Amino acid sequence: MHTIRLLYSSDALEGLRYRDFLTIMEKAAETNRERAITGMLCYGGGQFLQALEGERLTVNALYHHIAKDPRHSNCQLLSVEEIGARDFAEWSMKIIDWNDAVTAARQALLLKHSGSRQFNPSQMTAQQATVFLRDLAAMERLLTE
Ligand SMILES: Cc1cc2nc3c(=O)[nH]c(=O)nc-3n(C[C@H](O)[C@H](O)[C@H](O)COP(=O)(O)O)c2cc1C
């Protein structure tokens, strides 16, 4: 059994109603739970940044499935790595709406890891995206403790 973490960015479909999308993601989180997939999905500035963790074949199949979803385009793999421990173990899919929930602390995190004030994951390096999401998760844990 190989556990991997896959990160990708994509462009959201223009005019996507985020509320509708959230409803779909509630179902998706349920499916992820059944498949032992964990992760985080960050939406902002018309882009998605998603991390998928789980068994290698399961994550691959899910990624190829998601990449065909017409609600986004230009899926771009940022990284795929074998991992010893999950970064998002407690979330079948933690969703963060960057547009709505951008606090000063989150903004500082983005600037620190990407060198930009704009949420623009398609321009991040694999390392930047990995550490950004990991720190965002840590911040989220502190907030919900
Ligand atoms: C940005 C984005 C992220 C998604 N993430 C997941 C996910 O983590 N798990 C999942 O099951 N579906 C996810 N989906 C939804 C799938 O693309 C798909 O709609 C869902 O798996 C239902 O597939 P089905 O209609 O073939 O049953 C995501 C869609 C988008 C646009």
pLDDT at 120: 94
- The pair phi, psi for residue 24, each rounded to 5°, is -65, -40
Arithmetic mean of pLDDT over the chain:
93
CB 42 near ligand 1, within 6 Å: no
**Total-model pTM:** 0.95
N-terminal to C-terminal alpha carbon distance within the chain: 32
pLDDT one-digit tens code per residue, 64-81: 999 999 999 999 999 999
> What is the pLDDT at residue 145?
67
What pLDDT shows up at residue 130?
A: 96
Reported as a single tens digit per residue, the pLDDT across 28-41 is 999 999 999 999 99
Which residue owns the Cα nearest ligand 1 atom 14? 66
For residue 6 and ligand 1, the question of a CB distance below 6 A is answered with no
81 lines ligand 1 (CB under 6 A): no
Residue 19 has pLDDT above 90, yes or no: no
pLDDT at residue 101 tops 80: no
Classify the phi-psi angles of 39: left when phi > 0, otherwise alpha if psi is within -120 to 50, otherwise beta.
Answer: left
CA of 32 to the centre of ligand 1 (A): 9
Within 8 A by CB and 6+ apart from 123, the residues are 114, 116
How confident is the model over 42-59, as pLDDT tens digits?
Answer: 999 899 999 999 999 999
Q: Using CA positions, which residue lies closest to atom 28 of ligand 1?
A: 66
Which has more pLDDT, 102 or 81?
81
pLDDT of res. 86: 97
- Please enumerate, as own/partner, the contacts of 66-69 that have beta carbons within 8 Å and a separation of 24 or more: 67/8, 67/10
- For the record, the structure tokens of 117 come out as 């004030």
Residue count of the chain, please give it: 145
Domain that residue 20 falls in: 3-144
Alpha helices in 4-120 (DSSP H): 18-34, 56-67, 104-114
The domain total for the chain is 1
Proportion of the chain above pLDDT 90, given as a percent: 69
CB of 99 sitting under 6 A from ligand 1? no
CB of residue 59 inside a 6 A radius of ligand 1:
no
pLDDT for the residue 99: 81
CATH number at residue 58: 3.30.70.100
Ligand 1 centre from 136 Cα, in Å? Answer: 22
